[in-house]
Amino acid sequence: MKDCVFCKIINGSIPSKKIYEDESVIVILDIEPSSNGHMLVIPKKHYVDFTELDDNMLIKINTVAKKMKELIYEKLNADGIRIVNNYGLQQVVKHYHLHIIPVYKRKQKLLNIDEIFEKLK
């Protein structure tokens, strides 16, 4: 969609901190993270919400989410993750995306997104 911020990130017209990309999804760091390493898994095809996704895309997104969980544990020493999908009123950007939010035992100061990106590369 022409005005979708995620579609613009996917086509390269808006920069992002890209952690992963393949033919069907990208993973970027959230620009307003709730914890260090907060990522978004975004399908490249524009879907408004999870009800539009076919089973193959849901499997693909979850497979990538598992890979990102391993990366977060390895590079950021997270103690857990939260996986969040907002729908309806809670969904700010109307392009399906899955939040992967690292959880830490000790409260952490939010680092600059560039610092987190460097750790995850």
pLDDT tens by residue, 46-102: 999 999 999 999 999 999 999 999 999 999 999 999 999 998 888 889 999 999 999
Domain of 88, CATH number, reads 3.30.428.10
User: Which residues belong to the active site?
Assistant: 97
Determine the structural domain holding residue 51 and report its residue range.
5-120
Number of domains in the chain: 1
Find the angle CA(97)-CA(103)-CA(107) to the nearest 5 degrees.
130
pLDDT for 113 equals 95
The whole-angstrom separation of Cα 90 and Cα 14 is 23
Residues in a beta bridge with 26? 21, 42
